[in-house]
């Protein structure tokens, strides 16, 4: 099966890193968006099995993007994994309490990152 993953991230270097990691995994197709609004449109208009969402975006924060995705019937069932450089446990707990599927801190451990993605694509 082929899976489509949407990565909403404004930094091109981070998009390229994830693209390089996923390129080594058969059946993974990566879509990218550089802003929250672009990401929301992409999720609505393209088949998406999983969303990787940076919490610091230029036009809106990741939590706002998440809330818009979850309030839309077209995107509400897509698992959303938060990606952030913020590793403070209280922020992680607060983000997960909002309903995010997982929270991965940057820089991330590649094998763990891959395991988390695969776990939520079943």
* 29 CB burial (10 A radius; 0-12, 13-18, 19+): middle
> What pTM was estimated for this model as a whole?
0.95
Average pLDDT, the chain: 94
Residue 122: per-residue pLDDT: 67
The pLDDT tens digits for 37-67 are: 999 999 999 999 999 999 999 999 999 999 9
The per-residue pLDDT for 46 is 94
Average of pLDDT values for 27-38? 96
Mean pLDDT of the region 13-38:
95
Backbone torsion region of residue 99, taken as left when φ is above 0, otherwise alpha when ψ lies between -120 and 50, otherwise beta: left
Quote the CA–CA distance of 76 and 5 in Å, as a whole number: 15
Higher pLDDT, 111 or 122: 111
- State the number of CA atoms in the 13 A half-sphere of 121 facing the CB: 21
What's residue 24's pLDDT? 85
Cα separation, 49 vs 2, in Å, equals 10
């Amino acid at each position: 099966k082929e899976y489509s993953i949407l990565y909403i991230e404004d930094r091109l270097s981070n998009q390229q890193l994830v693209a390089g990691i996923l390129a080594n995994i058969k059946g993974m197709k990566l879509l990218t968006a550089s802003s929250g609004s672009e990401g929301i449109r992409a999720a609505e208009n393209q088949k998406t099995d999983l969303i990787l969402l940076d919490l610091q975006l230029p036009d809106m924060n990741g939590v706002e993007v998440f809330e818009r995705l979850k309030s839309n019937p077209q995107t509400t069932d897509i698992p959303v994994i938060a990606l952030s450089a913020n590793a403070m446990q209280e922020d992680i707990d607060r983000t997960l309490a909002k309903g995010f599927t997982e929270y991965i801190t940057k820089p991330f451990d590649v094998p763990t990152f891959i395991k988390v993605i695969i776990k939520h694509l079943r």
